[in-house]
Structures are given as structure tokens and as C-alpha cells.
Chains A and B, each alone.
Chain A
Amino acid sequence: MGLAEVPLPRGQAALAEAVLLGRALLGAEPQFLEQNILVREAWEAAGLPDRDVTVRMITKGLGPGAKKHYICLDEHGAGRHHDDSYRPPGRVRTLRVRLGRTPARDRFLSLNRHLAEQLLEAEAIEATGGPPPHPVALRRGRFVANAAHAIDHCVLDEPHPELRELSDQFRRTALLSPEGVPLSAAEGLEGEANGRRDEGRLGSTAAAALLVVARLPSAIAAAGQAQRVEFTRFFSFGMLELGVSPGQAIYGLCGKALREGHAEVVFRAAEDLLREAERRRDTALDGPPDRDAFGELLFAAAPYALAALLLASAAADEGSSAELAVQATAEELFVRLQDGLVHQWADLGDVRLREERRQIREAQQRGDTLTVNLIVREGELGLHRPRAVRDLLLGKMPWPNAEEGA
């Protein structure tokens, strides 16, 4: 069944799904999620198995040409990608996927419309003396409504209204200050990035641009002599570039830093951003067994990983192995964070979690502890669930409701 045929939930269930779907859409470019869904739907329609199969995937978007690569899944469901230049041995099936449809966006906007109607009803009830809407529900509803706008502004090289607003505000208030820009402005900008992200107003690319403009000038200033002057010069440059597009702010500022001989500082800033993304990831993994709380922390980590990736990519043009390792790690983390966000939405009904519990129980019954340990860790390292779910999967604590997928 395609996503379009899945019935929409109502009320609280609609709010829960909309928040998770909004985070999944804003985790990266929304196209990541759409492509994920379209591939999955085509895979199922073609009757391809989930294991022990090699598939040559041909994806065709709106533009000319098609992207081709191989995906090889082994008998355990693990596997790897190969580009089209390497044909894996054995039987190869072909899967053609036509991109361009936006099933996730369509569903999210439908949920948002439903929630807007619900809010009107709740306000009408309050106006006639009834109870006010719950503040947590209101906050989550605002996140969804904001995200419904933000998903239209996730492209790296297109103007972003929130960034333009911050840029204009800076131009009016701080740009021409004779004292220069205070170093604390960087902290303020990072606060804006996290606050607006938390409210659903920024996709990962826009939030990453704010983080780069906040972090890189501070790092350059800290490495040099005339700290306030250097900070003002780079921070002002970055703030003005934010008015153009997220990509312009990131690559413009980074290019300026590299041209002025700060390659080492750019790399260190990338490392710092990556450490922060890793810290947030670890906090999520060590958190409670709560899908929403886990997803919220992954959502907050993603812009840091993306900012690290973009800075490291620029610095890696210089080419040391340490720089390449940071770039590869940031890329891998960002992809896993996106995948983790998508998973929170896709497994809202715990179907996959129950399937994992079933596989673990079977492995436990035949004394296969290695398989048990691999399944447990696959979900954690893939950022599908926090470590606190481990006892549930291992049968050490009871399933929240009696069924347990038995």
C-alpha cells in the first residue's frame, strides 16, 4: 500500500504523527524522505525481497538523465551500495524508480490542515467558557504549522526568509556600530539557530548556516591577535551573506576564511561542530525510551552534523587524512541522523520494533546470542532507538501493552 492510501489519524494521534513527520521532512532536504518512500513503494510493488538480493537501482527525477547504482543486501539484511561502475557478482534485479511525487509532504500538509481545524474548534470551545487547549499541544501544533512553511525553504542556494530577517536585523542594528560586534553575538546567533529549529522554523541547511556564521568567526578570532576586529570582520560578512541564501553564507564565509589562510581554523571549527553533534547524538542514545524525546534530540543534532560536514568538505580540499576522516564521519552521522528521524515517523506504530523483538526471541530460543547482540546494536548504531529500549527487546521488562507482538 502506498503512503497516499494510508488513512490519516485524527486528534492527538494526528498531532503525534505530524510532529515526527515534520522532523523527518526538515531533517535534511525533504527530497531525502520522499525518495526514501518512493524507493520503498517501488521495491514492494516489484515484489523484491528485503534480504539476499542485488538490485540495480535506476532513479529518474524531473531533469534529464537517470542516476544508477547497485544495492546489495545479504541474507542478514545488511549490505552496501556500489556505484554503477562496479557490477556486483551474481544475479542482479533491476528496479526503476520515478521521482517527483511528494507523498510525505502531501500527507504532512493534510495533517497540518486537520490540526489547524482542531485548533479553531478548541479556541471556539475556550471562547464559550470551556477549558483552554493544553500548552504542550499548542507548542507542538505551532511546530507543525511552522514546519509546513519551513519545508518550502530547505534548498541550500535559495533565499530563506528567517535568515534574511536575521540578516536585515543585523544590518539595521549592529553593522555600523563603532565598537564593532561583541563576541557574545555568536552565542546569540547559535541560540537563534537552536530556538528557531526547536520551533520548526528551520530546516537543517538553514540552521547549519546560522551555526557556521556563529562558530567560524569566533574560532578565527580566538586564533588571532585583534580578536574583536577579526570577529567583527568575519561575523559581519557572514551575517550579510545569510541574507542571500544558506549556501552563500556557508561557502562564502568558508571561502573567505580559506583565502585568508585560516584552513586549519576551518577544520577545527568543523571538528568542534562534529563533537557537538556527537554529544547530542549520545544524549539521545542515553535518553529515556520515548520516541518523541529521542526524535527531538536527533532533530537538534542534525544541523551540527551538517555544518561540520560542509566545513570539513571545504577544508578537506586541502586534503589531509584527518580532514577526510572528519568529513566522512560527519557525512555518516548526518545520514544516520536523517535515517533516525525518518524511522521515528515510519515506525510510529512500533511494527518494526515488534518484529525485532520477535527475531530476538527466536534467536534467544535457539541460544544464538550473537544474533541477539547484533540486532540490539544495529538499531542503536542506526539511531533507530535509544539504549533504554534494550531491556524491552531482550524481554527483561514487560512490553508496554500485553500483546508483545506474540
Chain B
Amino acid sequence: MSTDLDVNDAALELADALGSDFTYLQPPEQKRFDPATVAVSIGYLLLVAAAAGITEGVKESAKTGTEVVLAATATAVKRWIRKLVPRAFGEGSDPSTVRECANEAELSVMAARQASGGLPEDVIQQLPETVGAAVREGLRESGLPDVAGARLERTVQVQINVIIQADRSS
């Protein structure tokens, strides 16, 4: 299974799950008529946030013990969301910036796969749920309504599961 294909598919699934509701995350004074570049950028950036959160959570647990890995991951995912989501609404959101986000997502996912490789099976099993809930919570804090958040949470769970499990089965 190609890593590149996984990442693109996952990001597009996230973009589709968010759909037009990205407007809740948009600065109110901003009006855009390039919704696809914004939505797809956010898809990739959410993947970066999820993957970077996993990597950070695993690193944190290396210091303090595996029992905190899930809590540390959730905290890190939310911090990454606060940092990354505004980027999708920055100046110059065009296909070249979407490509930058895609490259970043690919690197983050590879790092997360590597970092999570040595985790115990029961922690791995719980990661998708933890990351999904953290994404939902992080986006809720950024203004996304719960209906859209719940839809996105389910999609994040599925995609994180695919990404993490694909690596373990290969």
C-alpha cells in the first residue's frame, strides 16, 4: 500500500467530511470564493495535526510512561489544531499551498507511523478514538458546531485506523 495514496485519500475524506462547514472556522470578515482549496488544505492540515499529535504523545510517554500516551496525544492534537487551522485561511491559498500542506501531511504521517510502531497493541487500538475525539474538541473550540464535529470525528477515527494499522500489517 502506497503511503502517498493513503495520505491523499485520508485528507480528501476529511475535506469531504468537513464540507462547506469550514466557514465556521473562517475569520468572519473573510469572504472566499475558492472553497475547494480551503477545504482540501484543511483536510491535509487536520491530518498533520492528528499525526503530529500522535508523534508528540508517543515522545511524551517515553519520558513519563505509556499510560499517559493517549492523554498526551489528545492534548498535542488540540494544540496542533489551534496552530494549523488558521493557516488554511491565510493569504495565497492556491494549489501550490495545498501541495505544501500535502507534503507536510505525508512527512507527519510517516513520523507518526514510525513513532507509534512500538506502542502496545491496546494503546494502538485506542489511538483512533482518542485522536478523533481530540480533533472534534479542538475544532469545537475553534467554532465548529457539534453536528459537523461528530461527522469529522468518525472520519478521523477511520482514517487514523487505516494509517496506523496499514503500517503494522505491512
* A374 in the interface (beta carbon within 8 A): yes
Alpha-carbon separation in the docked complex, A381 to B15 (Å): 11
Q: How far is the CA of A352 from the CA of B26 in the complex (A)?
A: 29
Chain A residues within 8 Å of B32, by CB = 80
Q: CA A325 – CA B34 in complex, angstroms?
A: 19
B37 within 8 A of A: yes
CB contact under 8 A between A275 and B36, given known A325-B24, A370-B98, A370-B99: no
Q: Tell me how many residues of B have a C-beta within 8 Å of chain A.
A: 29
B102 touches A321 (CB 8 A): no
Interface residue A101 (Cβ < 8 Å from any Cβ of B): no
Chain B nearest Cβ from A382, distance in angstroms: 6
Q: Of B8, B20, B94, B145, which contacts A381 at CB under 8 A?
A: B20
Q: Interface size of A by Cβ–Cβ distance < 8 Å?
A: 34
Closest CB of chain A to B84's CB: distance in Å? Answer: 18
Distance (whole angstroms) from the CB of A333 to the closest CB of chain B? 7
Q: A325-B28, A328-B23, A336-B20 are in contact. Are A79 and B33 (CB under 8 A)?
A: yes
8 A Cβ contacts from B137-155 to A: 143, 145, 147
Does the CB pair A377–B36 fall under 8 Å? yes
Q: Given A76-B95, A370-B98, A381–B24 Cβ distance below 8 Å? A: no
Q: Is A371 an interface residue (CB 8 A)?
A: yes
The interface residues of chain B, by DSSP majority, are classed as helix
- Judged by a CB distance under 8 angstroms, whether B31 is at the interface is yes
Q: Which residues of B contact A271 (CB under 8 A)?
A: 145
Please judge, given known A-B contacts A78-B34, A325-B24, A382-B35, whether A374 and B95 are in contact too, CB under 8 Å.
Answer: yes
What separation, in Å, do the CA atoms of A372 and B73 have in the docked complex? 34
- A281 is an interface residue with CB less than 8 A from chain B: yes
Q: Does B158 contact A (CB under 8 A)?
A: no
Could you tell me the distance in whole angstroms from the C-beta of A370 to the nearest C-beta in chain B? 6
B112 at the interface (CB under 8 A from A): no
A265 to chain B, nearest CB (A): 18
Q: Taking A275-B147, A374-B98 as contacts, is the C-beta distance between A329 and B24 under 8 angstroms? A: yes
Within 8 A of A (CB), among B21-57: 21, 23-24, 26, 28-29, 31-37, 39-40
Most buried by A among B8, B40, B102: B40
Nearest Cβ on chain B to A67's Cβ, whole angstroms: 15
Contact B23 A333 (CB under 8 A): yes
Whether the Cβ atoms of A377 and B15 lie closer than 8 Å is yes
A332 at interface, CB cutoff 8 A = yes
A78 touches B31 (CB 8 A): no
B-facing residues in A48-102 (Cβ within 8 Å):
74, 76, 78-81
Task: Return A364 CB to nearest CB of chain B, in Å.
Answer: 14
CB A148 to nearest CB in B, in angstroms, measures: 31
In the complex, are the beta carbons of A328 and B28 less than 8 A apart? yes
- Residue B71 at the A interface, CB < 8 A? no
List the B residue with the shortest CB-CB distance to A368.
Answer: B95
**A contact residues around B34 at 8 Å (CB):** 76, 78-80, 378
Q: Which residues of A contact B40 (CB under 8 A)?
A: 370, 373-374, 377
Interface assignment of A245: CB less than 8 Å from any CB of chain B: no
Task: Indicate whether A374 sits within 8 Å of B28 (C-beta atoms), given known contacts A278-B21, A325-B143.
Answer: no
Closest to A75 in B: B94
Whether A177 is near chain B, meaning CB under 8 Å from some CB there, is: no
CB-CB under 8 A from B98, the residues of chain A are 370, 374
Complex Cα–Cα for A285 and B17 (A) = 12
- List the B side residues contacting A348 at CB < 8 Å: none
Task: Tell whether, in the assembled complex, residue A333 and residue B20 are in contact, meaning their CB atoms are under 8 Å apart.
Answer: yes
B107 within 8 A of A: no
Is B12 engaged at the interface, CB distance under 8 Å to the other chain?
Answer: yes
Shortest Cβ distance from B20 into chain A, in angstroms? 5
* Chain A residue nearest to B16 in the complex (CB): A377
Q: Are A80 and B8 in contact (CB under 8 A)?
A: no
Cβ-defined partner of B36 (8 Å) among A278, A324, A336, A374? A374
> Can you report 24 A-B residue pairs in the complex whose CB atoms are below 8 A from each other?
A78-B34, A79-B34, A80-B34, A275-B145, A275-B147, A278-B20, A281-B20, A282-B19, A324-B28, A325-B143, A328-B23, A332-B23, A332-B26, A371-B95, A373-B8, A373-B40, A374-B95, A374-B98, A375-B36, A377-B16, A377-B39, A377-B40, A381-B36, A381-B39
* Chain B interfacial positions (CB closer than 8 Å to A): 8, 12, 15-16, 19-21, 23-24, 26, 28-29, 31-37, 39-40, 94-95, 98-99, 102, 143, 145, 147
Which 9 A-B residue pairings sit nearest by Cβ, starting from the closest?
A78-B34, A381-B35, A377-B36, A378-B36, A328-B28, A324-B28, A329-B23, A374-B36, A332-B23
Known: A325-B24, A377-B16. 9 other contacts (CB 8 A): A76-B94, A76-B95, A275-B145, A275-B147, A369-B8, A374-B37, A375-B36, A378-B36, A382-B35
